[in-house]
Each structure stands twice: as structure tokens, then as C-alpha cells.
């Protein structure tokens, strides 16, 4: 029986992706055939049969197609992709950008700033993932850009909400203590920073989120630093 | 004196981009040095000094840098880019996708659907622009993706608003008659369809918007057609 992961994150310390954890836990005795299903899929909307799309990713192309046909309906369109690394890294790293998006909302910084954040955020999470063996195209797809947009825009997102409360001046410990669900972007920020350092990849937005969450950096100061970096060419 | 265009659209019939119109009108007698300034720049937010980013594009790299340093401030970050074709085509074609985004809002289709639309919309406008000589990277940048997000998400956008009213069942003629500003996405849809046919580029979302605006196609029917195309690989 193949295993389809719908979890998003990167384990602290091991820095494993969800399908790596599954393979690790199930061990050699039962080498599982694994796939990841990911995309812009807010659960409450799916439950109302609102139209949505997702990506079924597996190194085993046949399994990806099996997942595609098992889950596709008239209101849920599934694309296949063989880049499991990219799909899983996208699902994890976008939560860091979502915290930054929430901080902008907390500061009432507006939609121009939000759009710039999503655009430059996509650039840096793509850069890290490519260094880790992912395909760039996955990040302009539904599990990359698509999921990033939903997570940064939807008011109900847990990670965005954590950011918004921090943007309004609350302390991380207080925010987390008052929540009854998990904001996986917070521990994921630690894992992503560790990966960025290991791969020597520049991730200015992730660094800013890390400094705000774990080093007490002021949010206005973090935003000003990002806006006043040296003038650059876009590409 | 160089000319910096901030207009977005593609002229009907000639299919000229704004800087082509400028060059055409000013003629050989005064060959202007032209640049385009574009990005996620909702005017009302810029006027409030909220943080924003933009792209200064010119085939003349020195002019692009001149525009960059003329417009950059602590709250307005400008990147340079030499791909004028891409920056201008992005600014025009995203308005077609914005009408589709508005239609989804009118149908209350949710953020999963909106994210899928932006993602697949970006794929098809990139495909057209690359066929016309643009660089793909411009479309994952601020004048491409960045502007697309703002336009599809911000409630105040004129093109998104036209789409929303059509999604709620109003007729295009009635919507346009009641507006005192121009929704340039409507005529641009005609120009983009003409370019797509000429370049033989598949643009399913643009085709759906065209059919809804100008051929009386029902919006639910158009959405169902998009969701039930043949199952595909993402890349």
C-alpha cells in the first residue's frame, strides 16, 4: 500500500521532509512507495466543494498518476509532478513567508507590499530548494506559487495569523500560548535557516523573520532593512 | 529628455505596447529614449507612503539606472530590468487574469480557486510573452507575478471589479456604462486573444474571459470547462 503524505514542514535537527520521515520510521523492512499531495488547499473551502487544484508528486510516475485519478473530481483538479523534493520544500518554506505576510498585515502595510513580499519570497525559497535538488518549475506551479498565495492572503491561515499578531506588537510566546492549533511555520523557520546556512543561500526575508521571532528584532526595523538594501537589477 | 511610460495595455488593431505607441507618435524626427516603470503599485497606497516596489525597464541599461535612482526612496524600492517587452506585456496581460479573478470573487469561489487562477494565469501570459520575445524571468518578477497578485487580490482594482460584477450576473455593457474610470482589461482581452492566435499559443483562461465578455458564455460553464480539462502533468 503506497503512502500519500499531506503534511507540510521540515523536522528540526534531522531536517527531514515528511516523506523522508515516513521512509525513516517505516524502515527497510517495509520500503514504502511514497507520494506527496500538496497545493493551495484551505481545508474549509475543500469541505464546501469549492473549486481547488493540487499536485500529486512522486518519483514513481505511475504512483503520481494513481493518486491523481484517486483524488480528482469535478471540483478538485490534480496535476502530476515527479519533483517530490520541490513539492515538499515548497509546502514547508512558504509558511515562513506567510509569517512575514502576516507581519505586513499587522503593520497595515498594504497590498503593494504584500505582492512584493510574495514575489521576492518565492525567489528566495526557490533558490534554497534548487540548491537542495528541487526543480525550479515546481515553484512557479500550484504547490509553490499557488500555495504561497493562498497562505499569504487567506485571513484564516494559522501562520499568517501568528505574523499578524506579532506585527501588532505581541510577543511570540504569548501568541503561541493562546493558540489551540499548531503554527508549523515557527519551528520550520529554524529548519529553513539551518538549511540556508548549510547551502550558503541568501534568504533575506527568512533571515528577517528569524530575527523577529527568535532574536527580538523590531518589525519596523526589519522591514526598513529589507526596503533599503543596495539598489539591484531584478534578475 | 527620455520618456518614462507608466501606461499598461496593448492597443487594439496595431497591437502596440505603450512605448511602441510613444516611439510611433513622436516619430523619427525625435527618436526618444524610452523606459517603462511598472509593478505592484496601487496608487492610493503609494500616495500614503506605504512600502512598494517597482521595475524600471529599458533596453538602455543606463537609462534604467537613471530611472531607478530618480524614483527610489526609503518606501519605494526600484529594481532595473532590460526586458521592456516583458515588463509591458506583463502589465497588460495581467488585467485579463484580473477580470477572471473578479469573476471568481463574484461567484464566491474562494482563495484556493483564486490561487490556482493566478498560478495558471501566470503560466499562460508568460507563454505568450516569451513567444513575443520577452524573458521568462520578468514574469516571476515584480512587474509580472507581483503586479498580477496585487491586481487579482486588491478589492479596489477596476478590472477585478468588472469581473466581480459579471460573476454576479451583470451584463458587460451595463457594468461599463456605470463606471467613471476605464477598465483597460476589457479592450486588452481582445488584443491578447489576437496575439495568442497569431502566435498559436494556448491561453485557456484568456479564452474563457473572452468568451464570457464578448460571446455571452455563462460564467459557471466557463469555470467548469477549465476545471475538467484532460488530466495533466504540471510541467
Q: What is the mean pLDDT of chain A?
A: 94
d(CA B127, CA B152): 19
The 3-state secondary structure of chain B, one letter per residue: CCEEECCCCCCCCCCCCHHHHHHHHHCHHHCCCEEEEECCCCHHHHHCCCCEEEEEECCCHHHHHHHHHHHCCCCEEEEEECCHHHHHHHHHHHHHHHHHHHHHHHCCCCHHHHHHHHHHHHHHHHHHHHHCCCCHHHHCCHHHHHHHHHHHHCCCCHHHHHHHHHHCCCCHHHHHHCCCCCCCHHHHHHHHHHHHHHHCCCCHHHHHHHHHHHCCCCHHHHHHHHHCCCCCECC
Query: B141 CB near a chain A CB, below 8 Å?
Result: yes
- Of chain A, the percentage scoring pLDDT greater than 90 comes to 87
Contact, A134 vs A89, CB < 8 A?
yes
Chain B positions in Cβ-Cβ contact with residue A53 (cut-off 8 Å): 112, 116, 119-120
Instruction: Write the pLDDT tens digit of every residue in B208-235.
Output: 999 999 999 999 999 888 888 777 777 7
Burial class (CB in 10 A: 0-12, 13-18, 19+), B92: buried
**Which of A78, A130, A149, A228 best probes binding to B when mutated, by most B CB atoms within 10 angstroms?**
A149
When the pLDDT of each residue in chain B is averaged and rounded to a whole number, the result is 94
- Say if the Cβ atoms of B146 and A233 lie within 8 Å: no
Q: How does residue A31 score in pLDDT terms, banded at 50, 70 and 90?
A: low
Q: How far apart are CA B212 and CA B96, in angstroms?
A: 12
Mean pLDDT of B87-106: 97
Cβ-based neighbours of B190, under 8 Å, separated by 6 or more = B12, B210, B214
pTM over 0.80: yes
Task: Please compute the mean of the pLDDT values over residues A28-41 and round it to a whole number.
Answer: 85
Which of A28-37, A152-161, B37-46 is least confident?
A: A28-37
Q: Residue B99: is its pLDDT beyond 80?
A: yes
Q: CA A125: distance to chain centroid?
A: 9
Is A116 touching B (CB cutoff 8 A)?
yes
Reference B212, options B178, B182, B179, B175; nearest CA is: B175
Q: Cell 488593431 sits at which residue?
A: B13
The closest of B181, B189, B213 to B44, measured between CA atoms, is: B181
Model confidence band, residue A233 (pLDDT cutoffs 50, 70, 90): confident
Compare A225 and B84 and report the one with higher pLDDT: B84
Q: Can you name the residues that pair with A76 across neighbouring β-strands?
A: A52
Question: Given an 8 Å threshold on Cβ–Cβ distance, is A40 in contact with B111?
Answer: yes
Q: In whole angstroms, what is the distance from residue B41 CA to residue B86 CA?
A: 17
User: Is there a contact between B87 and B147 (Cβ–Cβ < 8 Å)?
Assistant: no
Which residues from B are below 8 Å from A52, CB to CB? 110, 112-113, 116
CB burial of B113-148 (b: ≥16 within 10 Å; e: otherwise) equals: bbbbbbbbbbbbbbbbbbeeebbeebbbbbbbbbbb
Residue B93 has pLDDT above 90, yes or no: yes
User: Residue A2 has which C-alpha cell?
Assistant: 503506497
A171 is catalytic: no
- Cβ atoms < 10 Å from Cβ of B199: 14
Cα(A9)–Cα(B131) distance, integer angstroms: 37
**Residue A16: per-residue pLDDT:** 97
pLDDT in the model for residue A196: 98
Question: Are A114 and B138 inside 8 Å of each other by CB?
Answer: no
> Is A231's pLDDT higher than 80?
no
pLDDT band at B88 (very low <50, low <70, confident <90, very high): very high
pLDDT over 70 (residue B30): no
Q: Which of A207, A44, A116, A105 is nearest to B42 (CA)?
A: A116
Is the predicted pLDDT of residue A221 greater than 70, yes or no? yes
CA B40 to chain A, closest CA, distance in angstroms equals 5
Mean pLDDT of the region B40-45:
94
Residue-wise pLDDT for B135-150, tens only, equals 999 999 999 999 999 9
- Which residue, among A29, A75, A37, A70, has the nearest Cα to A55 in the 3D structure? A37
What is residue A6's predicted lDDT score, i.e. its pLDDT?
Answer: 96
- Flag whether pLDDT at A29 surpasses 80: no
Helix (H) or strand (E) holding A97: helix A84-106
Q: How many Å separate Cα A39 from the centre of its chain?
A: 10
Strand (E) or helix (H) holding A198: helix A185-199
ipTM value for the complex: 0.92
- pLDDT at position B224 is 87
The answer to whether residue A45 scores a pLDDT higher than 70 is yes
CA dihedral B227, B228, B230, B235 (to 10 degrees): 10
Closest partner residue to B149 (CB to CB) among A50, A138, A149 is: A149
The cell 492549533 sits on which residue?
A: A181
Could you report the per-residue pLDDT of B102-147, keeping only the tens digit for each?
999 999 999 999 999 999 999 999 999 999 999 999 999 999 999 9
B1/A99: higher pLDDT = A99
pLDDT of residue B21: 95
Show which of residues 12-31 on chain B sit within 8 Å of chain A, judged by CB atoms.
none
Q: Check A116 against B140: CB less than 8 A apart.
A: no
Nearest Cα residue to B170 out of B183, B154, B188, B153: B183
pLDDT (tens digit, 9 = 90+) per residue, A155-213?
989 999 999 999 999 999 999 999 988 889 999 999 999 999 999 999 999 999 999 99
- Average pLDDT of the residues in B161-183: 94
A window 159-218, beta carbon within 8 A of B: none
How far, in Å, CA of A144 to CA of A38, rounded?
Answer: 9
Angstrom distance (rounded) from CA A36 to CA B67 = 45
- Taking CA atoms, B171 is separated from B91, B99, B178, in Å, by 26, 14, 11
Distances (CA, A) of B68 to A1, A224, B124: 57, 18, 29
Report the C-alpha gap between A117 and B12 in whole angstroms: 34
Amino acid at each position: 500500500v503506497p503512502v500519500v503524505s499531506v503534511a507540510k514542514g521540515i523536522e528540526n535537527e534531522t531536517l527531514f521532509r515528511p516523506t523522508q520521515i515516513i521512509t525513516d520510521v517505516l524502515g527497510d523492512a517495509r520500503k514504502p512507495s511514497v507520494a506527496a499531495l500538496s497545493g493551495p488547499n484551505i481545508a474549509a473551502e475543500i469541505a464546501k466543494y469549492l473549486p481547488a487544484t493540487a499536485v500529486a508528486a512522486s518519483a514513481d510516475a505511475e504512483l503520481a498518476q494513481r493518486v491523481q485519478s484517486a483524488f480528482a473530481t469535478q471540483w478538485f483538479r490534480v496535476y502530476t509532478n515527479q519533483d517530490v523534493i520541490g513539492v515538499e520544500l515548497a509546502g514547508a518554506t512558504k509558511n515562513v513567508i506567510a509569517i512575514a505576510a502576516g507581519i505586513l498585515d499587522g503593520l497595515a502595510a498594504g497590498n503593494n507590499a504584500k505582492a512584493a513580499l510574495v514575489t521576492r519570497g518565492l525567489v528566495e525559497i526557490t533558490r534554497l530548494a534548487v540548491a537542495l535538488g528541487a526543480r525550479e518549475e515546481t515553484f512557479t506551479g500550484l504547490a509553490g506559487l499557488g500555495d504561497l498565495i493562498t497562505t499569504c492572503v487567506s485571513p484564516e491561515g494559522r501562520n499568517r495569523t501568528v505574523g499578524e499578531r506579532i506585527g501588532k506588537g505581541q510577543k511570540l510566546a504569548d501568541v503561541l500560548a493562546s493558540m489551540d492549533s499548531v503554527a508549523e511555520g515557527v519551528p520550520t523557520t529554524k529548519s529553513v535557516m539551518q538549511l540556508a546556512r548549510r547551502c550558503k543561500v541568501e534568504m533575506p526575508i527568512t533571515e528577517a523573520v528569524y530575527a523577529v521571532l527568535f532574536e527580538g528584532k523590531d518589525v519596523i526595523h526589519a522591514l526598513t532593512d529589507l526596503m533599503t538594501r543596495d539598489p539591484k537589477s531584478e534578475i
